[in-house]
Each structure stands twice: as C-alpha cells, then as structure tokens.
Amino acid sequence: GLGTAAPLSASPTSDFGDPDGGPSSPADLDVDGGFAAARAGDFITARQLAVQAVALDSTHANARHLLSRVCFQQQDFECALAEARQAVALREDVGEIREAHAMALLANGQEEAALEELRVALRQDSALGYAWLTRARLAGLENIGEIIERDALPRGWPSELARRYLTEYLKYDVGQP
C-alpha cells in the first residue's frame, strides 16, 4: 500500500514571509489558512485556498507545496506530482518539499525517482527521518491490538506479555529526541 503522506503540520517555509513571523502577502494568508484547514481535515477548503494562493502568486513555493499535499490527500496524484515539481523548482533546498515530491512520484509509479528524491530530502533535513520513524512508531502503537492478534497470539505469546514487550521494552528511537 501507498500509505499516507506526512501530517500537514505547518507551512515548511513559513519563516520566509514577514521577518516578524506573520504573513506578508494575501497569498501567505491563503497558505496559512489552507494548512490550518488541512490539519483540521477540511481538504476541500484547503485546496480552494491553495489554488487561490497560486493564482495570487504562481512563484509561492508554500502554495505549490500545500496544493501538492492536499491533492495527494485527495488521491489526485497527477495534481500532486505537478504541484510538487513546481514547489521543488521554486525551493529545492527545503527537505519537506522534496519529501512531498517523493511521495507524489511514488504515487505515480516512479519508485526509483521517488527513492532518490527521498534520499536528497533526508540529506537536506535529517529531522525528516526521525519524523518518519516517529510516525511509524505511533501508527504501530495505535494498532497494537491488531498487531498482537495478528502476530503474537498465533505464536503463543500471552496477550499482556506481548503488549508490554511492544510498548515498554521494544524501542527504536534514533537520532534527536
């Protein structure tokens, strides 16, 4: 399975607007609103705001990145790839933008290109790797019952022992906390 893209936590280059951290243009306001809508699960509004931001400023990397991520969430993988390419062309130095490009490449069946793009993203931003591992660990913890039932019980592990092993003893934290 393809899985899902990383959660939309914030605009990856939001610090490039107003030096005081606030938005400096109408496109910035739309992008900020779009990321907020996406975090709330309202991908229709997020997409509308991203499209509006791109219409206001076609060179706005965050607007392109947001639109790519929202298209990916809506499984419009062609749109996701087109917008991710534009975002990378505008800000090739931002690991999170490259990560979204890698996911869009993968969704479009371009596995080798996706792996190479992800390698570049991880070289640019080592925190992305830690974030991927953390998301995987949290997803595993959310599905701990399913994992125990599927993998531990058929092997004769008592349920409570398997739960303790998986949640208390088995640790794979790598890198910065």
CB contact at 8 A, 138 and 166: no
The widest CA-to-CA distance across the chain, in whole angstroms, is 61
Taking residue 122's Cβ as centre, other Cβ atoms within 10 Å add up to 18
User: What is the distance between the alpha carbons of residues 122 and 146, in angstroms, rounded to a whole number?
Assistant: 31
pLDDT at 2: 41
Q: Compute mean pLDDT per 10 residues along the chain, 177 residues long, and list them.
A: 46 40 79 93 95 96 95 94 96 90 88 84 78 67 83 80 77 55
